Amino acid sequence: MFCKVYNLEFASIGEAKGGVSFLSEQIGGVISESNIASLSILLDKKGGVSVTVRFDAMEAMAEFAQKKAPVFSELRQKFPVRINELSAVAVFSFEREAGSIA
């Protein structure tokens, strides 16, 4: 599985919440058309945000990165934020199936 990972540092938790809302709309709204296999957006109490977008094919990841670059440029215009971006290959990933625990 191929991943784009974005680590963002906002000046405050309030700005981070606004940034998370923006990213959820902009990225979450194109899951099917971008062939996204998995999307995680995590927010910590200090205003740090981690966005992990997983794809089954490298081509889908490259296309997503190219099409979504303006989203991160717009985010920088809206909020003071530092963004660290990297591409990776998932070596190990586990998610439990949804269900009840007895």
Q: What is the reported pLDDT for 1?
A: 87
Q: Which pTM value belongs to this model?
A: 0.87
Domain 2-89 has CATH 3.30.70.100: yes
Question: Domain boundaries in the chain?
Answer: 2-89
Whether residue 18 has pLDDT greater than 80: yes
Q: How far apart are CA 15 and CA 81, in angstroms?
A: 9
Q: What is the reported pLDDT for 69?
A: 86
Q: What is the pLDDT of residues 22-55, one digit of tens each?
A: 999 999 888 888 999 999 999 999 999 999 999 9
Residue 41 vs residues 25, 59, 63, 64, 102: alpha-carbon distances, Å: 11, 22, 20, 16, 29
Residue written as tokens 């949804």? 98
Our CA angle for 7, 10, 12, nearest 5°, is 140
Is the model more confident about 76 or about 94?
76
Side-chain half-sphere exposure of 45, counting CA atoms within 13 A: 0
The candidate with the shortest Cα–Cα distance to 1, out of 96, 91, 78, 95, is 91
Residue type, 79: F
Reported confidence tier of residue 73, pLDDT bands at 50, 70, 90: very high
Please answer whether residues 38 and 52 qualify as being in contact, where contact means their C-beta atoms are separated by less than 8 angstroms.
Answer: yes
Q: What is the reported pLDDT for 102?
A: 59
Q: What is the pLDDT of residues 51-65, one digit of tens each?
A: 999 999 999 999 999
Reported confidence tier of residue 101, pLDDT bands at 50, 70, 90: low
Share of the chain above pLDDT 70, in %: 95
